[in-house]
Amino acid sequence: MASLTTSSCLLLLLALLLPLAAVAVPRGHRFPSLQLSPVNASEPPTAFFEVDRPIQPPRGSVGPCSALLLSGSFGYTYGRPPATAAYAPPECLAAARAGGGSLALAVLEWSADCRGRQFDRILGVWLSGAELLRSCTAEPRPNGILWSVSRDVTRYAALLSEPGEIAVYLGNIVDSTYTGVYHANLTLHLHFHSTTPSPPPTPHADLILPISRSLPLNDGQWFAIQNSADVQSKKLAIPSNTYRAVLEVFVSFHSSDEFWYTNPPNEYIEANNLSSIPGNGAFREVIVRVDEHVVGAVWPFTVIYTGGVNPLLWRPITSIGSFNLPTYDIDITPFLGKLMDGKEHNFGFAVTNALDMWYIDANLHLWLDHKSKKTVGSLISYDAASSANVDSQFSGLDGRFVTSASRHVSATGWVESSHGKVMTTFYQRFSYKNSNVYSKSGSEQVVNQTIDANSGVSATNGAMLLLSEEVHQVFPLYLFSGTSDEVGDEYSLVSVVKLGINEKRASGGEQGFSYSSLQNEQSARGSMRVKGNLVTSGSGENHQVYKYVGTDGCYFRDVNSKNYTVVFDHSGDSCLKGSSRVNGSRLPSS
Ligand SMILES: *[C@@H]1O[C@H](CO)[C@@H](O)[C@H](O)[C@H]1NC(C)=O
Ligand SMILES: *[C@@H]1O[C@H](CO)[C@@H](O)[C@H](O)[C@H]1NC(C)=O
Ligand SMILES: *[C@@H]1O[C@H](CO)[C@@H](O)[C@H](O)[C@H]1NC(C)=O
Ligand SMILES: *[C@@H]1O[C@H](CO)[C@@H](O)[C@H](O)[C@H]1NC(C)=O
Ligand SMILES: *[C@@H]1O[C@H](CO)[C@@H](O)[C@H](O)[C@H]1NC(C)=O
Ligand SMILES: *[C@@H]1O[C@H](CO)[C@@H](O)[C@H](O)[C@H]1NC(C)=O
């Protein structure tokens, strides 16, 4: 999708016009909207949605009090500065605090509409340089579309209570073919506890430092990573009374790496003279470094944007994570002993095997000791290792590539503050397998990939476990793509996509025990006729099943769409019906 510069847009067009490029599966493509039936601009606009559980205000809270943060139109914005607006904390926030209340929930809502024809575009929302939302637009129709996405932004309470600047970047190109201008409103909804609840909720960070590019600039505030040697970084000094630190990483991939998990090895590309096909194989890893240490990694969920593979698969149910891209937390508390010397330290990002381009930035969440000016600490143990292997066999355009990779990172360190001498361990363990098979002279491609990610953090003061969190995520992906009936720059494409996020979380410690299990899976298929890079006819359907079971409630949804129409839609929030029961204190196996 739309990191798309004018020049890469042109390259894409040229690639599609080359007969050879279409013989090898024309993969990695985005397509702008198609009209399934003759255009009737007076039909009501289509409402797109990403399936997610509703964000529930905590029991006993009051609200919301809502404030419009920014209202903007995004026409020809490519290469221009972000839209900005001064941010002042809503008056109700100060009033609630003055009355002894506290923030219970903050929700950021992006609602937008568009009419005409347009590609899917990436967008970012920042407050004072810290990213609050990474999202992709829906693709418009002549009769118009609308959608909204909400993200729980309570963890940014420290930023929300200070004046700052909102910035929204949505790089769009409008011309005589791609006519869609996106109009959007950004609203903040706040809910409050009038008295401190019991037990008190886990405190949010006292300070959030952005690891992003500063305004003014003619782009998003993310770093753009263009190849595997590219390291983007920022130097930061950390307050000397920090006792906990968590890096929250935002990641999206575009242009040559939009479909990185389908990229063949370079030797296949070279042997077949396929210079227009992106390569570097199918494995990518975002590496996060603080000074010389790899503190963690992100093995990203394979978000498919709304114009990806076959745009008709995602109408109006959009693909998992496309409106609200997942973020990834890396606890760097064990390293605090090395960071609290008052000096600047280097926070850097790189992407293994990267092709142009990846948008990455991060928010550093810091918890400060209000009872001391200086905390001390030390890193006790640290270990990081990774391996990757490709089994590659091909003959001409047919071939089979099996890539496996694994990585672990673990660090233990202590920090002494008014909370005592606390020992924290953070670990990540990843495994990855990707099979990429080309057949029928490269006109069919099947990719089957699984990413398995385990991470956890535990903190103890020697006498008791203060905090324990475990997350186990599995991201399955299956993609079939078959090209046929080529005539000139026209061809037919049949696609099947299955992808999901399966996640188990458990946490324990001073705040009590919580557990959740999410199974979120989509199964989509479609066919289309493509001319140039326009879809001229086609059909698509998508079936999504979302099951969430947690100590904080349950949610279930089973929904199916075909050709822009929702065929059925069942949902519920019972913990007993349509989803399995929660099992007492059973921890997820990891
Ligand atoms: C277009 O849609 C409107 C509203 O649904 C309907 O009244 C009108 O008859 C339609 N026009 C055509 C040409 O189908
Ligand atoms: C934005 O808000 C204005 C004022 O309430 C409203 O007229 C407009 O339709 C909204 N636009 C979107 C895209 O929600
Ligand atoms: C690739 O190009 C080279 C040089 O132009 C040519 O010798 C070779 O036969 C080509 N290979 C294929 C598979 O087309
Ligand atoms: C994908 O691979 C997994 C594990 O290797 C396997 O269990 C699954 O059946 C495969 N799926 C398809 C559709 O081939
Ligand atoms: C979707 O639309 C296409 C073209 O208009 C049509 O051929 C196909 O039958 C439709 N599919 C469904 C499931 O309605
Ligand atoms: C709950 O426990 C029962 C019996 O111990 C087991 O069969 C079931 O799979 C468990 N369910 C979950 C969601 O863990």
Give 71 Cα–ligand 2 centroid separation in angstroms.
8
Q: CA-CA distance, 106 to 190, in Å (whole number)?
A: 5
Q: Which atom of ligand 3 is nearest to the CA of 271?
A: 13
**Pick from 166, 187, 197: nearest CA to 103:** 197
Give the pLDDT of residue 579: 41
CATH of the domain at 171: 2.60.120.230
Q: Is residue 143 part of a domain?
A: yes
How confident is the model over 180-189, as pLDDT tens digits? 999 999 999 9
Please state, rounded to an integer, the average pLDDT across all residues of the chain: 90
Give 185 Cα–ligand 2 centroid separation in angstroms.
6
Q: Which atom of ligand 5 is nearest to the CA of 537?
A: 4
How confident is the model over 510-535, as pLDDT tens digits? 878 999 999 999 999 999 998 877 78
Q: Percent of the chain scored above 90 by pLDDT?
A: 79
State yes or no: pLDDT of 580 exceeds 70. no
Q: Is residue 317 part of a domain?
A: no
Q: Is residue 553 part of a domain?
A: no
Average pLDDT score over residue span 364-375: 96
Which single residue is written with the structure tokens 């009419």? 115
SS3 100: coil
Q: Is residue 142 part of a domain?
A: yes
Closest ligand to Cα 183: 2
**Residue 541: what residue type?**
E
Give 182 Cα–ligand 1 centroid separation in angstroms.
24
Give the pLDDT of residue 34: 57
Give 249 Cα–ligand 6 centroid separation in angstroms.
34
Residue 476 is encoded by which pair of tokens?
């399955």
Closest ligand to Cα 554: 6
State yes or no: pLDDT of 4 exceeds 50. no
Give the pLDDT of residue 22: 28
Average pLDDT score over residue span 417-427: 97
Give the pLDDT of residue 9: 27
Burial class (CB in 10 A: 0-12, 13-18, 19+), 266: middle
How confident is the model over 101-111, as pLDDT tens digits? 899 999 999 99
Which single residue is written with the structure tokens 């118009």? 144
Average pLDDT score over residue span 284-308: 96
145-152 and 46-47 strand pairing: parallel
Q: Which amino acid residue places its CA nearest to atom 5 of ligand 2?
A: 185
Q: State the residue range of the domain holding 116.
A: 54-197
Q: CA-CA distance, 139 to 147, in Å (whole number)?
A: 10
Q: Contact at 8 Å (CB) between 156 and 130?
A: yes
The answer for residues whose C-beta is within 8 angstroms of residue 1's C-beta and 6 or more apart is 30, 119, 120, 121, 122, 136, 254, 258, 305, 306, 307, 308
Q: Is residue 266 part of a domain?
A: no
Q: Which amino acid residue places its CA nearest to atom 13 of ligand 2?
A: 112
How confident is the model over 36-57, as pLDDT tens digits? 555 677 889 999 999 999 999 9
Give the pLDDT of residue 84: 98
Give the pLDDT of residue 1: 52
The answer for residues whose C-beta is within 8 angstroms of residue 521's C-beta and 6 or more apart is 476, 498, 499, 500, 502, 544, 545, 546
Q: CA-CA distance, 24 to 18, in Å (whole number)?
A: 11
Residue 555 is encoded by which pair of tokens?
């949610």
How confident is the model over 151-162, as pLDDT tens digits? 999 999 999 999
Q: CA-CA distance, 75 to 174, in Å (whole number)?
A: 6
Q: Contact at 8 Å (CB) between 139 and 115?
A: no
Query: Residues, the chain, total?
Result: 590
DSSP state of 49: B
**91 in the Ramachandran plot: left (φ > 0), alpha (ψ -120 to 50) or beta?**
alpha
- Cβ 375 under 6 angstroms from ligand 3: no
**Pick from 343, 413, 329: nearest CA to 379:** 413
Residue 270 is encoded by which pair of tokens?
């070279």
Backbone phi, psi, residue 416, to 5°: -105, 125
Backbone phi, psi, residue 389, to 5°: -145, 135
**153 in the Ramachandran plot: left (φ > 0), alpha (ψ -120 to 50) or beta?**
alpha
Q: Which amino acid residue places its CA nearest to atom 10 of ligand 4?
A: 448
pTM for this one?
0.90
How confident is the model over 526-569, as pLDDT tens digits? 999 988 777 888 999 999 999 999 999 999 999 999 988 999 99
The greatest distance separating any two alpha carbons of the chain, rounded to the nearest whole angstrom, comes to 74
- Minimum mean pLDDT range among 21-35, 166-180, 226-240, 422-436: 21-35
- Cβ 448 under 6 angstroms from ligand 4: yes
Give the pLDDT of residue 29: 54
Give the pLDDT of residue 383: 97
Q: CA-CA distance, 241 to 207, in Å (whole number)?
A: 11
The answer for residues whose C-beta is within 8 angstroms of residue 484's C-beta and 6 or more apart is 443, 491, 492, 494
Backbone phi, psi, residue 78, to 5°: -60, 130
Confidence tier at 589 by pLDDT (50, 70, 90): very low
Give the pLDDT of residue 135: 97
Confidence tier at 7 by pLDDT (50, 70, 90): very low
Give 272 Cα–ligand 4 centroid separation in angstroms.
28
- Cβ 273 under 6 angstroms from ligand 3: yes
How confident is the model over 18-34, as pLDDT tens digits? 222 223 333 445 555 55
Q: Which atom of ligand 6 is nearest to the CA of 580?
A: 13
Give 214 Cα–ligand 3 centroid separation in angstroms.
47
Q: Contact at 8 Å (CB) between 18 and 12?
A: no
Q: Is residue 526 part of a domain?
A: no
- Cβ 36 under 6 angstroms from ligand 5: yes
Q: Is residue 179 part of a domain?
A: yes
- Minimum mean pLDDT range among 2-6, 8-12, 400-404, 454-458: 8-12
DSSP state of 390: E
Q: Is residue 37 part of a domain?
A: no
Confidence tier at 588 by pLDDT (50, 70, 90): very low
Give 274 Cα–ligand 4 centroid separation in angstroms.
28
Q: Contact at 8 Å (CB) between 37 and 456?
A: no
How many domains would you assign to the chain? 1
- Cβ 395 under 6 angstroms from ligand 1: no
Q: Which amino acid residue places its CA nearest to atom 6 of ligand 2?
A: 185
State yes or no: pLDDT of 14 exceeds 50. no
Closest ligand to Cα 47: 2
State yes or no: pLDDT of 362 exceeds 50. yes
Average pLDDT score over residue span 318-337: 98
Q: CA-CA distance, 486 to 228, in Å (whole number)?
A: 35
Residue 378 is encoded by which pair of tokens?
């030390």
Q: What is the DSSP string of 517-554?
A: EEEEEEEEEEEEEEETTEEEEEEEEEEEEEEEEETTEE
Give 448 Cα–ligand 4 centroid separation in angstroms.
6
- Cβ 431 under 6 angstroms from ligand 4: no
Q: Contact at 8 Å (CB) between 264 and 447?
A: no
- Cβ 583 under 6 angstroms from ligand 6: yes
- Cβ 382 under 6 angstroms from ligand 4: no
Closest ligand to Cα 45: 1
CA 518 from centre of chain: 16
